[in-house]
Structures are given as C-alpha cells and as structure tokens.
Amino acid sequence: MDLREAIEKEQQTDTLETAKLLKSLPPKVLARRGLAMLNLSLNGVSTGLGGRTLFELGPDKAIGLFDPVVKVGDIVQVAKQPKQTVEPGGFEAVVVKVSKESIVVASDDDSIEFPDARLWIVKLVNEVTYKRIKWAIDRFENHTTTRLLDIVKGSAAPHIEQADFTPLGSLNDPQRVAVKHALGSEVAVIHGPPGTGKTATIVEIVRQLVAKGERVLICGPSNISVDNIVERLSPHVRGLLRLGHPARLLDSVMMHSLDLVAKQSNEGQVVRELQTEINQVLGKVKKARGSERKALWSDLKTLRKDYRVREKTVVRDLILKASVVVATLHSAGSKYLGDAVNFLGGIPLFHTIVIDEVSQALLPQCYIPLVIEPNAKRLVVAGDNKQLPPTIKSTESSVLKTLERTLFDQLVDSCGPAVKHLITIQYRMAQEIMEFPSKAMYNGKLIADKSVASHRLYHLPHVEKNNTTESVVLWVDTLGDMYPEQKEEEAFSTKNIGEAELVAGFLSKLLDSGVNPDEIGVISPYNAQVGELRRLLPSVEVSTVDGFQGREKEVILISLVRSNPDKEVGFVADDRRMNVAITRPRRQLVIFGDSETIGANDGFLKNWVEWCQDNADIEYADS
C-alpha cells in the first residue's frame, strides 16, 4: 500500500469513528469520553494572528473552574448545547489556548454571530492536517528533483563523514561523535535513547551551524518537542524565531514567538493599529442591530483584508532575517514559511533541516519541511525508534505496516547504518532501572553516568530512608483471583479497581516518607484505569503511558491492569510502549501487575517479568 492510500484510509477511519460517536452518544457521555466540554459561556471576542477571530469560552458561573479535555491544535465544533446528540449548527474552530479558567478558539469565518446561550465544544477530525499531509506526499513524489530529496527517496547516496569542531557546550564522547557526524554529512540520524541528552546534542549542532553562517529550520511533531529546543537555544542564538500561535507556546519561549516579535517590530506598528481598530469595531458589533450591524460587519471584512496583506509582508521579512526558525512539522507547511521560501526564487532559505522526535511523526508529516525547502543541503533527524511510534487509529494491517514506517527507519534502510549514531550515556535512570531496557532494546549499550548510576530515592534530602524508599525496582504482584480486570464498555477500555487501590496505598507511603507529589508520576496503558487513578489520586500527576513519553519523574508507579484467565494483555504487548513506561523514572520504579498474565506472553514481556523476578524486589499483594 502506498503512503497516500494509507493516509486516506487512516482519515476515513478517524472520520467515521468520530462521526459514529457523535451521532450515537449524548453530550454527557461524550464529555466523559473526553470528546466534548459542556456548560460553557462566551467571555470575550478579539482578533489574533492572520486576522482570525478569537473566542474566549469559560465555564458556566455555576461550575467555576473546569478540567479541559481539549488541547491546543484540536479542531472543535462550537455550538449551542443540545439536550441529546450533536445537532447541526455552530461553527468549526481551532483551539489556541487552554487553561483551568478558559479556552480560546480561533476561526477564519468573519460572519459568526454567537448564540446567547449555554455552549459546548465537540472535538472533530482535523481535516486540515490530513489535507496538508496529502499535499506533502504529492509534492515529495512529484517535485522537481533535488539532491536532498533524492537522498531521502533512496535514489542517491549521501556524503557521510565526520567534521572537526570546537564544542560550544558541554558534551560527552558519544555526543561529540554525533555532532561531528551531523556537521560532516548530508544526512545524519541521531539515535537518542531515554535520558541520553539528545536535545543537548541537537542544540550543539545548531549552534555550530549558526556560527558558520548557516540558517536552520527546526521541526518536531509537537509543540512541546520544539519548545524544549527553543528554551535551550535561547541563551546562545540570535535571530531565533518560533512559528505558531503564541497561545500554543511555553511562556519561556514567548519572546521568540513570531506573533510577539511582529507586534513589537517597527514594521508592525501599522498592523497593531489595524488590530486595535478591528477590536473596536467588534465591540460595536455586539451592541448593534439591523442595518448598523450589517454595515459594521462589512467594515470588519475590509479591515481584516488590509490587516492580512500588511501582516504578510511583516512576517515574511522577519522569517527572512531569522537565523533559526522553529515550528511543528504541521506549521512548517504554513503560508508564512512557504511565502518566505518562495520569495527567494529557488535560493535556499535554510541550509539545514533538523527534525526532532522523528520516530513519533508519520513519515509524510516529515515530508512537509522537505518540500517547503527542497534545496536544503543537509538533513539531521533525531529520535528513538525503540519508543512509541506515531498514533494510528486504523487497525488494518496494511495501513499499520505502511504508516508505522518512519523517516528514521527509511533513512537507515535507504542510506545504510553509517548514517545512524547511537548516544549511549544516559543521565536519568539508576543503574538498576536502566539495566533491562538497555539489554532488551539497545543491545546492552546504554551506560548510566556516575552522577545517576547509584542515586536512590532516599538520597533526596527531604525523603526518609525506609522500606518504601529503599527499593529501586519493585514489582507488586497481583497474581491470582484477588485483582481481576474489568471492562469499561462505554469507554472501550479496561480498568482494575483493586490494583488502583493498591497504587493509592503505596502512594500514601511515599508521601508519608517525605516524597513531594510533583516528584511522582502514575501511569497506565489504559484510559479507563487512568480515570480511576485520577479519582483516587488527585494530588499527583496521572497519565497514560503514551501521554508521558518524553517526560520523567523521580518515582514512577505503573499500573498494568491486565489480569485474566486467558492471559490476554492487549496493547501492553507493544515492546515500545512498555519501554517508554519503564524508562520514565529517575530513582524508583514500582510496577503493579499480575506476573502470570503479563509473563505468559513470549518476548519482551516474558523476559521483563523474569528479569524482575531475578533482580527486582517482589511483594505479593494478597500476602
């Protein structure tokens, strides 16, 4: 199956699945499933980047604070809240800001008239994302050939060598070799297992390139992945520009936001004045009626058109002046970046493209920056193909086989193993926590730096040394019939109430021992169990394994959930998912699970259970 067909099937699955749920489930059930938010009201209207209208929605006054289930970038329908299933009406918008107090959504529609009623928002399939991905596939496969595109396609061999350099930051030997490799080669794949300083390596590469006068485009699959790089680059690189709506960015990188830089520039003065005028007219629209309201809407359309023309020039000039531009893979396909690249008429705007967390992105997503800047001279990708791949909703085997192949895999397969360099020294996990994933996933090549190899939970100055805090790897075994799993049909998920209560009990011991709540992470592969754990453990962070990828805590408690006579483990069987789970902690890993169910499966899980039985502390839940 080719990429475009696979993407179209994935889109069909996504669309049909969402449509079926919206048609069949009432609002309260959709909210419980995390697909909707109820009882909202309109707090305010303003104008954002690109002349878009921003609507701030808050909870009904009778509710107060709420727990948002949407995230920045989600496409939603905003409408009058129905009594039963989703009704026609309302409008589509993109979520641009989320907090405990409000949600801000943006729309390009100039003619929206907001209902004076209780509102709700429903998650929709992001058609724009699929459209941009399919556009990138077409451009990649049919674009006039360039050296870099030929290498990525496998029709040309990359030039690979190491380049000498003087480090600008602190590097260990494996990181130094990775930087040499990236600076001297047309294509470089940096394999960074958990805690090995992959981001520090990328930062050094970018600093070296900028010092040589090169311009760099940095992309990643998520806002957080690229914001982390911006944070690290900020003290060292001038001319750093972060594309993306400022509401999607970390506060620490806001100073580099395209929107903020544009507003503060001298050239942006006229744009700011137009924005103020638009907001003033918006204020009048809310009070006007009849012909006056119609005339004001006409004025708004004219003002917004002028705003967009002037803003386009300001933004293009800022991008052309930047030494490093940072964006998500999706945002790399925005009109702003494309306009700046096209303005140069084939002269490369960027000499090097860097893609971080490449193994979490669909292959055609990675095509977006490549077809935006096909004349780049170098491609550096970084990630870990032993952690979770991009999320795929289709269960069709041919779709999964096609879409699970990432750019990381394609480059190693087409260019050969010489393009890949493994970073081996990790600075997160104690030796005991690192030992099994290193052996099972990285050919035993990971090394725990001496700063972390022997660190213990009770070494933290505020933590008491006792039986609870002395264990480094502990398995609380729920084998037998005491802790069976339960199916939650409404959520199409699985939970284990007894196991959740065990986690809560152990957490209490940790807190009593002086461990701070923000030093603890509780994770589970199942959404239903995450919901159960959040109900029991409001003081600590609880997440799915997938949601915790890229994160770390001093202590991680894992609830595996599955315990059944058929020894079925579902997607716990994914080696990469479990590798993510067991590599999140720094000082203590505690597993709650039925060793008979988990260990009955050949391969990674069986080996892991056997390793724990030989090397970890074991407690039996029913003893």
In this predicted model, what pLDDT tens digit does every residue of 519-538 receive, in sequence order?
A: 999 999 998 899 899 999 98
Q: What is the mean pLDDT of the chain?
A: 89
The listed range with the strongest mean pLDDT (11-15, 108-112, 217-221) is: 217-221
The DSSP call for residue 586 is E
Q: According to CATH, what is the number of the domain 450-620?
A: 3.40.50.300
pLDDT for the residue numbered 63: 58
Give the model confidence (pLDDT) of 192-206 as tens digits: 999 999 999 999 999
DSSP β-bridge partners for residue 194: none
18-125: CATH number? 2.40.30.270
**CATH code, 129-239+326-423:** 3.40.50.300
The set of residues, in sequence order, having a beta carbon less than 8 Å from that of 512 and lying 6+ positions away, is none
Catalogue the long-range contacts made by 180-185 (C-beta closer than 8 Å, 24 or more residues apart).
181/421, 182/378, 182/380, 183/208, 183/209, 184/160, 185/158, 185/159, 185/160, 185/161, 185/378, 185/419
pLDDT in tens, 149-158: 999 999 999 9
Residue 494 has pLDDT above 80, yes or no: yes
Per-residue pLDDT band at 67 (split at 50, 70, 90):
low
- Is 90 exceeded by the pLDDT of residue 251? no
Distances (CA, A) of 472 to 3, 255, 554: 44, 41, 11
pLDDT given at position 265:
77
Q: Rounded to whole angstroms, how far apart are CA atoms 344 and 338? A: 10
